[in-house]
Structure 1
Amino acid sequence: MFNQRQQRYLSYFIKLSVCITGLVSSLAMASNTFSEQQVQQMLSTADSFRLQDDAAKVVSLVTLYQHNEVDKTRQYNVYTRANRQSLVIFKSAVEAGQKMLMLGDNYWLQMPKTRRPIRITPMQKLLGEASVGDISTLAWRYDYKASWYANENISDVSGKSVAAYQLKLIAVTAGVSYQKIDLWIDKLTYFPLRADLYLASGKLAKQAVFSQGIRDDKPAVVAMTLLDSIQPSKKTVIEYQQVVSWKLDDKYYTPSFLSRSNTTEL
């Protein structure tokens, strides 16, 4: 049994230990506290691994797998430029003649032999889990405000453990596919590793995993794999086969020109 004096000392040391633990925890948190500007710069760097230039041509091959076997493939040539504008040309034979235009929060689809483009949403499916928004949007920094959330070790596509920052992305524009994104980036390089993509309802829509390769002698995202937890036997892979600087005339970025333009060579 402790005497009264020993009990006082014991109580004192317990309180001191709690204070020290709290201080260490606070210092640890402080060491990982980043300003809003720093976190947005992290996000911009993560974006740069997907797309270097504001005006570019991106040749995307989308493959739907079922039970790890190829089910369908489609090719899309995406012409993107500043101010969240993209023109998507459908190149596969089964979709020949289709075109899609994104101007900020607005999307139009032009079908062959129709006089006018129809309005669509960014969540409309193209193939498997790949949606209109997944194909046409190649940057987060314009649509989301990011905040640092946690340190975490996660596995990359090869199964290797990587020290990562988890960022919380909240949409600041109305027409995005996902209201919220949990994004994990490499702690050293800010390369995007994984993302959980949430709808406005709060439901997890899909998970994205990013594959790293080399483009123009620099590390780059060469593929994005989209997974659906409800259908684990299926996965959709978007391969970025070619990314080059490219500028189209302004006329191609107008809905009225979609039905009149000849885009077979694009």
Structure 2
Amino acid sequence: MTRQGWKRPMLLPVILAVALVWAGSAPGAGAAGSEAAALSPDEILDRVEQNLQGDTRRSVQTMTLSSGVSQLVRTMEMFARGDDDLLVRFTEPADVAGTGLLVLGDDMWLYMPVVGRARRIAGSMREASFMGSDFSYDDMSALSYQDDYRSELLGTETLDGVSAYKLALTPTGESSYSSLTMWVDAERFVILRVDFFKGGTLSKTLRASDVRDVQGRPVPFRLEMVPASGNRETVIRLQEVRFDEPLDDGLFSVRTLERGR
């Protein structure tokens, strides 16, 4: 779901939660050869999205911000329900512990303990850097994207030794990005790389790697976002992730967000 007139950009979360799912037994996996070759771009994206989604997702991740010799490492928990609801909460270090991001459908709030109350994130603020990283608020909140972009299959390429579909995605409405170029593993339907463009100019690149099996699903344990300038990067590493486990309905609320734990 997206609010009218605004299209949330895709970010595997993780993506996050950003991005997390695949295996021979998972929906849409293992389709290679002639069947895969016959797929339309919409069908490719549908397989990717099927792989990314579960009823619920719960994960622990580290976010490492690197610039030159400077490096910051933060730990966060992430909870997701379907493709609409997301809670991100930082647990370490002490200066960011309790800080959280809540997404409920088209609405988004940020809570910082030093402020003491949740603040709604709206409009152009959603394009701003999330906690000083190379991910924007919109990047972190993007749990679904198929309906927000018009897709075109540009062909197949070998990326890091893997046969991949190359797709061009153009937003169907207002968006943080003018277009995306995406590479998808042609066998496992894992997103391997996304180039984000603003005004036709490359803005940043997301790379997913270290794919491991989790509950019968291949999951990328490393997400790297690098701006076009190349002078810094943000790396998200999964420490643990579980799918389809019960989550309390009260977890996804501003009240819970403001408790900071």
Residue 152 of structure 2 corresponds to residue 147 of structure 1? yes
**How has the CA–CA distance of structure 1 residues 70 and 135 changed in structure 2, closer, same or farther, with 3 Å as cutoff?**
farther
- Identity of matched residues, %: 27
CA 1:84 to 1:203, structure 2 compared with 1: closer, same or farther past 3 Å?
A: farther
Alignment of 1:26-45 (within 5 A): 38-45=40-47
Paired residues for 1:1-150 under 5 Å:
38-47=40-49, 51-67=52-68, 71-92=71-92, 93-112=94-113, 114=115, 116-120=117-121, 121-125=125-129, 126-141=131-146, 143-150=148-155
Q: Aligned partners of 1:164 and 1:116: how far apart in 2?
A: 45
Q: Which amino acid in structure 1 is aligned with residue 183 of structure 2? A: W
What aligned pairs does 1:238-253 form with structure 2 within 5 A after superposition?
A: 238-245=236-243, 246-253=245-252
- Unaligned 5+ residue runs, structure 2? 1-34
Q: Which has the larger radius of gyration?
A: 1
**Could you tell me how far apart the structure 2 residues matched to 1:60 and 1:136 are?**
15
What are structure 1's unaligned runs of at least 5 residues? 1-30
Q: Distance in 1 between matches of 2:56 and 2:156?
A: 34
- Which amino acid letter does the alignment assign opposite residue 124 of structure 1? A
Q: What is residue 184 of structure 2 aligned with on the other side? A: 185
Q: Which amino acid aligns with 1:45?
A: R
SS of corresponding position for 2:44: helix
Whether the 8 Å contact between 1:60 and 1:76 is mirrored in structure 2 is yes
- Structure 1 SS opposite 2:89: strand
Alignment-derived partner of residue 29 in structure 2 = none
Task: Give the Å deviation of 1:173.
Answer: 6.6
Structure 1, 80-89 or 136-145: larger mean CA deviation: 136-145
- Three-state SS of the structure 1 residue aligned to 2:95 is helix
User: What is the root-mean-square deviation of aligned Cα atoms in Å?
Assistant: 3.0
Indicate the structure with greater helix content.
1
Corresponding residue number in structure 1 for 2:4: none
TM-score by length of 1: 0.70
Q: Secondary structure at the match of 1:233?
A: coil
Equivalent AA in structure 1 for residue 62 of structure 2? L
Task: State the aligned residue count.
Answer: 220
Shift of 1:83: 4.1
